Structure 1
């Protein structure tokens, strides 16, 4: 018997660990574009899942943004059926007309399709093929935006979207290993031209910034960036727990917040309380920015009689004596 190629073993081990923590008896669905990362993930899941007593399927999303995309999605679906994956779905989505830029619109359409498909099949989780390299890129992009700890925490290993668990088993696996795993298994990945298109910030980071960092600082920089995200994710989760408790403790009977309770909190917890409260009031998470939270915080820590803070959604928050409260719009 030929020895198992180490990259194949690496990807299979990552999948085995991810499946070990799942509950429920529904299938797992691999989101697969046909690229090296998701193809290696799908092949590993097809091997590991049945041996773990769980069914595994695949869903591929056709964004309709490139010539031949429907045929390519059909090829991925056909390969999945040959591997014994079941169920297998190819979903066409419409990207045009969605808010945000092309990347954001495509991502929204893709995740909506994944969640809808997972619900239809009663899936226990959807597996995503993001790697350590993707995480490093995400951290660098967050740094460039001036993001706080939440942004620098990168992509989580697990999160829920509309009640569907999304798992990223490969965040500790390099992109090089997924390519080598595909080669060892005789699989030919699809190369997405968008990944090399300099019109996209992530493509520029991938082609220019990360190679420059590796050249200057050594190959360990990718792992270190991903580890930074992991450490910040743990810290952020702990601070979020503290903030949730503090939000409950500082509420006033009318639904506002008590200034004395807020003043006693460390700044890192207090700003999280204000951010969570603003979202609770109805401020859009996408539109709620750092400057809004700073303005709310100034009502607590730098009070000099200033007027209300205007939040997204037409909300106005003012300080009234010893509490923060929503006031009617003018």
Structure 2
């Protein structure tokens, strides 16, 4: 049977059901562990022709299991310059939050597993990510007032599929998973088999490293919160300059994210740090593109503004 990480979610709970093997296995395991307390949530993204088949599969599965299913359709298409993955993710979680409210569910479980976690770590490495990216996917978090959890992060994807086959359960394969135009799919198809052969315990060790990164990032966030309280809002330039450059970088990332939901690129952050270091006179001007807007000097402080 599927053995997922020890969890004691608030009941009733909901499972995000795509119709794939991972979410199908999670739904079955939860329905057996908490009978009468489980709802299924399905988000129809409208991004591919097979989306209707996903929905019909979920309807048939939940009808057979006598589980309540809640479905919401969204338009997850992205505009120019937007990340398709980020747009789809935002729409998905907005819909899941709404569906959880309809179901009266206090927790939403997501079926991502150990292979997904490794793929996320490798994807972060390929992009030169920092600690936040290397921390990969958290096992539990809150978004929009809804509690979420990923109880399968210690379970290999192959184990879930083997369990479903043993039970005689069917699932839907997303056709887009076979396309190697996506970096994550290339990692899955090419790198994971090599890692499996060379380092059979790679899922456990990679997950351990992600946990270390998450702990370190938590410390950095706590330091940044203290530093931001000290430099004020908007941040005073002289107070920023009193910090070491790595601590300045940590503070500025934190300020941009918590105050403006902006993530600077490495090049943008480096230029901002250089400008702050050079800001020694009252006449020094600053106007830098950061994220989708601009950081500029206003008197003794710096501010961020969206594009006009």
Match of 1:35 among 20, 36, 51: 20
The partner residue of 2:273 within 293, 297, 301 is 297
Query: Are 1:325 and 2:306 counterparts?
Result: no
| Cα-to-partner distance string for 1:304-325 (whole Å, 9 max, x where unaligned) | 66641423454333385xx433
How many residue pairs match? The answer is 303
**Partner deviation per Cα, 1:145-200 (whole Å, 9 max, x = no partner):** 11111111111112222222221111111112211221232212222121111121
Partner of 1:136: 118
CA distance in 2, matches of 1:268, 1:56: 47
Identify which of 69, 73, 76 aligns with 1:95.
Answer: 76
In the alignment, what sits opposite 2:167? 185
Structure 1 position 204, deviation (Å)? 0.8
Contact kept in structure 2, 1:239 and 1:268, CA below 8 Å: no
Counterparts of 1:173 and 1:59 in 2: how far apart (Å)? 22
- What is the distance in 1 between the residues matched to 2:160 and 2:194? 22
CA RMSD between the two structures: 2.8
* CA distance, structure 2, for counterparts of residue 280 and residue 152 of structure 1: 20
SS of the residue corresponding to residue 318 of structure 1 reads strand
Which residue number corresponds to residue 285 of structure 1? Answer: 262
Flag the 1:9–1:70 CA change in 2: closer, same or farther, 3 A. closer
For 1:3, the equivalent position in structure 2 comes to: none
Q: In structure 2, do the counterparts of structure 1 residues 81 and 265 end up closer, same or farther at CA, with 3 Å as the change threshold?
A: farther
CA deviation map 1:60-111 (0-9, x unaligned): 222233435324312222312332433x113222233556354444333322
- What SS does structure 1 have at the residue aligned with 2:254? helix
Match of 2:58 in 1: 76
Deviation of the 1:294 alpha carbon: 2.3
1:203 counterpart (171, 185, 205): 185
Between 1:55-64 and 1:135-144, the stretch displaced more is: 55-64
Runs of 5+ in structure 2 lacking a partner? none
**Superposition TM-score, scaled by structure 2 size:** 0.86
